[in-house]
């Protein structure tokens, strides 16, 4: 057990380091885009002079400041409304601790309690049962205290108790690792960056050499940035999925239930197309399984199972 814990702790540290690197890259690109747009706005004589004026605040970086403010406001809005945003489109019910109405709800609540105890947590996420014809689950919440785990009714009906427990353990691991904050922040920053790049190219005139150079860089970013953000998002999300799978195996002290659950969930999607049934796209990156194969935010089931077999 101690050896498994050491191995798991090592995986956690490695993934946390990779995550910090990706976030640092995101923030640097975010600031760079704002400064380039400000250089075009100032119609700077040279690129170096433009950066100097802005970084020393001899000219206030209005666009950079506005970008940051908008990002913070959107993040705050998402934090306040994440439950309504993510659960909309389907009927759902919160399973309130001590007020479960049937055996299914009591079993789900008991499973979560067992995992919270094993993980030695000081918080208990809210638990939701979502009416849906597909097998899936997701977690959300900016902080541990306002976190939630949602599982679909079809998932609960088709998994054994141990498999369902592994899925809940996977989602609980996402919350423990702070993955939800990262997913939210990266998604918002990516969209704002793309909007500003397009605006800078199409609406900001550039007459002097420095402004023209900045505008040219923004024009290049207009094509490069979507691919770069996609690659970074895929790397970040996939590494977090492997990490949550490992967390589930660690909490269960067994990798077999997680493997069986992944096989059953992917098999469910292989039998039916649920694109019309699942009308809320905001959940797709948070699901335990993403049916998209090309440019998916999730690793393939085969790779996830192979990683679990090495645990």
The reported pLDDT for the residue numbered 44 is 92
Residue 267 · residue 159 · CB < 8 Å: no
The reported pLDDT for the residue numbered 20 is 77
The reported pLDDT for the residue numbered 4 is 63
Which residues have a Cβ under 8 Å from the Cβ of 155 and sit 6 or more positions away? 135, 136, 137, 164, 167, 265
Place of tokens 């001899």: 58
* Paired tokens of 161: 């108790």
* Paired tokens of 92: 């759902």
- Measured CA to CA, the distance from residue 22 to residue 110 in angstroms comes to 37
**How many Cβ atoms from other residues are within 10 Å of residue 276's Cβ?**
6
DSSP class of 276: T
- pLDDT tens by residue, the chain, 311 residues: 566 667 666 766 776 777 778 778 888 888 999 999 999 999 999 999 999 999 999 999 999 999 899 888 988 888 788 788 888 878 889 998 888 889 999 999 999 999 999 988 889 999 999 999 999 999 988 777 889 999 999 999 999 999 999 999 999 999 888 777 777 777 778 888 888 888 878 888 888 999 999 999 999 998 898 888 888 777 777 888 888 998 899 899 899 999 999 999 999 998 888 877 777 777 877 889 887 755 567 888 999 999 898 86
Q: What is the CA radius of gyration of the chain?
A: 22
Which residue blocks in 43-178 are alpha helix, DSSP H? 47-55, 62-87, 103-118, 153-158, 161-176
Residue 92 · residue 126 · CB < 8 Å: no
Torsion of CA 226, 229, 232, 233, to 10 degrees: -100
The reported pLDDT for the residue numbered 50 is 94
Residue 81 · residue 133 · CB < 8 Å: no
The reported pLDDT for the residue numbered 15 is 65
Residue 230's Cβ-side half-sphere holds a number of Cα atoms within 13 Å equal to 8
Residue 211 · residue 39 · CB < 8 Å: yes
* Paired tokens of 140: 């959300």
The reported pLDDT for the residue numbered 169 is 96
The reported pLDDT for the residue numbered 230 is 80
Nearest-CA neighbor of 282 among 23, 68, 89? 89
- Measured CA to CA, the distance from residue 123 to residue 272 in angstroms comes to 37
* Paired tokens of 287: 């699901």
Question: Which of these is catalytic: 101, 171, 241, 293?
Answer: 171
Residue 136 · residue 275 · CB < 8 Å: no
171 is catalytic: yes
Query: 179-203 and 161-176 helices cross at what angle (nearest 10)?
Result: 60
């Amino acid at each position: 057990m101690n050896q498994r814990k050491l191995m798991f702790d090592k995986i956690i540290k490695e993934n946390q380091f990779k995550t910090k690197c990706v976030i640092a890259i995101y923030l640097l690109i975010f600031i760079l885009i704002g400064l380039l747009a400000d250089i075009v706005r100032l119609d700077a004589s040279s690129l170096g002079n433009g950066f100097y004026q802005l970084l020393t605040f001899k000219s206030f970086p209005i666009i950079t400041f506005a970008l940051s403010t908008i990002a913070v406001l959107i993040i705050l809005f998402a934090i306040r409304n994440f439950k309504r945003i993510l659960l909309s489109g389907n009927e759902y019910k919160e399973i309130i601790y001590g007020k479960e109405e049937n055996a299914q709800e009591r079993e789900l609540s008991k499973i979560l309690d067992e995992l919270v105890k094993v993980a030695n947590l000081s918080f208990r996420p809210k638990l939701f049962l979502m009416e849906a014809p597909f097998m899936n689950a997701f977690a959300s919440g900016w902080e541990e205290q306002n976190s939630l785990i949602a599982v679909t009714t079809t998932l609960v009906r088709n998994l054994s108790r141990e498999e369902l427990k592994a899925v809940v353990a996977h989602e609980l691991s996402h919350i423990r690792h702070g993955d939800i904050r990262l997913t939210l922040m990266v998604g918002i920053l990516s969209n704002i960056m793309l909007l500003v790049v397009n605006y800078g190219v199409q609406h900001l005139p550039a007459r002097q050499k420095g402004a023209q150079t900045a505008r040219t860089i923004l024009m290049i970013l207009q094509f490069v940035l979507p691919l770069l953000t996609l690659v970074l998002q895929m790397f970040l999300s996939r590494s977090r999925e492997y990490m949550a799978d490992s967390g589930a195996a660690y909490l269960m002290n067994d990798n077999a239930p997680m493997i069986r659950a992944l096989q059953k969930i992917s098999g469910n999607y292989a039998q039916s197309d649920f694109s019309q049934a699942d009308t809320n796209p905001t959940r797709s990156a948070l699901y335990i399984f993403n049916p998209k194969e090309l440019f998916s935010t999730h690793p393939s089931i085969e790779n996830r199972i192979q990683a679990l077999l090495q645990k």
